[in-house]
């Protein structure tokens, strides 16, 4: 479904990803975890080409792109990849001048050229799905962070992407509001939505993810089934990282 082979990403002289190879099955949820600056958000953004890899190969569905240093990627090739992905950002990125339902409709109407009534029906069904139908006509500024993120998830799902990419979807939220978002993502996972999420939220990763990829220093240190990586990590580096996450979760959970 998604294949990343030998992905390298450089920003000038800094190498942020070094030869990363990961494959993600259709219908599975993969969590990219690791310390800040380890490369997880950059890797996530390489999947929908918000960041263009310096070198390596990306496969998504039936599209394949090979990257070479200094070579431009044609715009239409980027669009073909992006059309198959939905993105949920850390800070929601809703349009402040549009209501919740208009935010979800926006891409359908402007990009996919759907008629407004069809887009509205689709948007309403998705708001229902994420538990936000009662706030369809609310402005983003009047919503809590958890509610905004749930609207953002509905918006990302609107064009029926093959894969939902979540970049730290709970990190801007306090634990109680984060739980609302975890619940919605867990429900999507149950329905077989393919998801890749960069997160340091242990609750999110351990509740939802089937596979975990631990990145540090731009390299894959360890990958495997979530339960195995979280309970019996093989590498010392992974053990240390999971211990710090567990301590943070214990502190955060009671605050």
Query: Which candidate, 214, 236, 239, places its Cα nearest to that of 225?
Result: 214
Do 192 and 221 have their domain in common? Answer: yes
Q: What is the average pLDDT value for the chain, to the nearest integer?
A: 94
Beta-bridged to residue 166, according to DSSP, are 88, 197
Do 65 and 137 have their domain in common? Answer: no
Do 180 and 80 have their domain in common? Answer: yes
Q: In this structure, what CATH number is given to the domain that contains residue 244?
A: 3.40.50.300
CA 197 to chain centre: 4
Asked if residue 129 belongs to a domain, the reply is: yes
Of 160, 194, 211, the last residue of a domain is 160
Do 39 and 54 have their domain in common? Answer: yes
Asked if residue 245 belongs to a domain, the reply is: yes
Do 169 and 156 have their domain in common? Answer: no
Do 173 and 74 have their domain in common? Answer: yes
- Show the domain range for 124: 94-160
What is the rounded distance in angstroms from the CA atom of residue 193 to the CA atom of residue 201?
20
Of 160, 176, 193, the last residue of a domain is 160
Asked if residue 89 belongs to a domain, the reply is: no
The 10 Å CB-count burial string (b at 16+, else e) for 154-169 is bbbbbbebebbbbbbb
pLDDT bin (cut points 50, 70, 90) of residue 152 is: very high
Do 147 and 176 have their domain in common? Answer: no
CA 37 to chain centre: 17
Do 177 and 214 have their domain in common? Answer: yes
pLDDT of residue 78: 95
CA 57 to chain centre: 20
Query: Which candidate, 162, 238, 221, places its Cα nearest to that of 195?
Result: 162
Do 9 and 77 have their domain in common? Answer: yes
Do 118 and 58 have their domain in common? Answer: no
Indicate whether 254 pLDDT > 60: no
Percent of the chain residues topping a pLDDT of 90: 88
Of 141, 160, 179, the last residue of a domain is 160
Helix, strand and coil percent figures for the chain, each rounded to 5? 40, 25, 35
Do 7 and 76 have their domain in common? Answer: yes
CB within 8 Å of 206: residues ≥ 6 apart: 226, 230
159-198 tens-digit pLDDT = 999 999 999 999 999 988 999 999 999 999 999 999 999 9
């Amino acid at each position: 479904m998604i294949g990343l082979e030998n992905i390298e990403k450089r920003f000038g002289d800094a190498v942020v990803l070094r030869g990363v190879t990961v494959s993600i099955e259709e219908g599975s949820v993969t969590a990219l975890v690791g310390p800040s600056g380890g490369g997880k958000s950059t890797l996530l953004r390489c999947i929908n080409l918000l960041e263009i890899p310096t070198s390596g190969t990306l496969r998504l569905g039936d599209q394949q792109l090979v990257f070479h240093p200094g070579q431009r990627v044609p715009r239409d090739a980027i669009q073909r990849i992006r059309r198959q992905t939905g993105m949920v950002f850390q800070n929601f990125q809703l349009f402040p001048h549009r209501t919740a339902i208009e935010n979800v409709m926006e891409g359908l109407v402007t990009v996919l050229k759907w008629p407004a009534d069809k887009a509205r029906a689709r948007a309403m069904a998705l708001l229902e799905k994420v538990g936000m139908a009662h706030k369809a006509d609310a402005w983003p500024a009047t919503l809590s962070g958890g509610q905004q993120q749930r609207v953002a998830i509905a918006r990302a799902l609107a064009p029926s992407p093959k894969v939902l990419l979540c970049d730290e979807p709970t990190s801007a939220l306090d634990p109680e509001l984060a739980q609302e978002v975890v619940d919605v993502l867990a429900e999507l996972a149950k329905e077989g939505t393919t998801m890749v999420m960069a997160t340091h939220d242990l609750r999110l990763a351990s509740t939802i993810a089937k596979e975990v990829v631990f990145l540090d220093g731009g390299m894959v240190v360890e990958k495997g089934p979530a339960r195995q990586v979280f309970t019996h990590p093989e590498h010392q580096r992974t053990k240390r990282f999971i211990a710090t996450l567990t301590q943070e979760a214990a502190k955060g959970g009671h605050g």
